[in-house]
Amino acid sequence: MENKEKKKGGVGLKVILIVFFLVAAVGAGVFFGYSKFLSDKNTDSNENMTTSNVTQAQTQTQSGENSSYLQHVVSAKTFDLSEFTINLADEGGKNYLKVNVYLGYDSKKLTDELTEKTPIIRDAIIEVLRTKKVEDINDKNMDNIKIEIIQRINPMLEKGKINNVYFSDILTQ
């Protein structure tokens, strides 16, 4: 009798150990699969969050709040689009804007796409800036202009999204 009880206890222990190792193996597989295959999708969701934050920032800026989302974003990388010289929408067409533009982004995959699409992106920025008047080019309105540029460019991109626009050497005349 005692041998049968010992055998049942030994079999139960073996079953528990086998189940434990199977659960551990499945858990390790799930962890590996998530880290290997879904981490890129997680980056995409972060970029979607950035897009929604930009839209929210535009709403806040239009409603008159002083704090802007773009003032708090520091991009990991920037892409130089060089200098733009653009006629402004003032009457008579005598005023122009001269500015250097840099696009801010975080995705490493985006650099090649930005290089390939530079003429298209430059054209989109020119379209946005040509609608502005000299009065629009001021500290209060620059965040609105940046957000408008971001919203114009991001739908063109497939490998990531830009999260900020940086201007340097702004000159209006």
Give the domain CATH number at 160.
3.30.479.30
pLDDT digits (tens, 9 = 90+) for 127-171: 999 999 999 888 888 889 999 999 999 999 999 999 999 998 889
Domain count, the chain: 1
- Three-state DSSP string of 109-121: CHHHHHHHCHHHH
User: What span, in angstroms and rounded, lies between the C-alpha atoms of 61 and 54?
Assistant: 10
Provide the residue range defining the domain that includes 40: 1-173
Residue with tokens 């040509």: 130
Confidence bin at 65 (pLDDT 50/70/90): very low
Q: What are phi and psi of 13, to 5 degrees?
A: -65, -40
pLDDT digits (tens, 9 = 90+) for 110-134: 999 999 999 999 999 999 999 999 9
Side by side, the strands of the sheet bearing 96-105 are 77-87, 96-105, 162-172
Q: Would you state the pLDDT for residue 58?
A: 47
What is the value of pTM for the model shown? 0.62
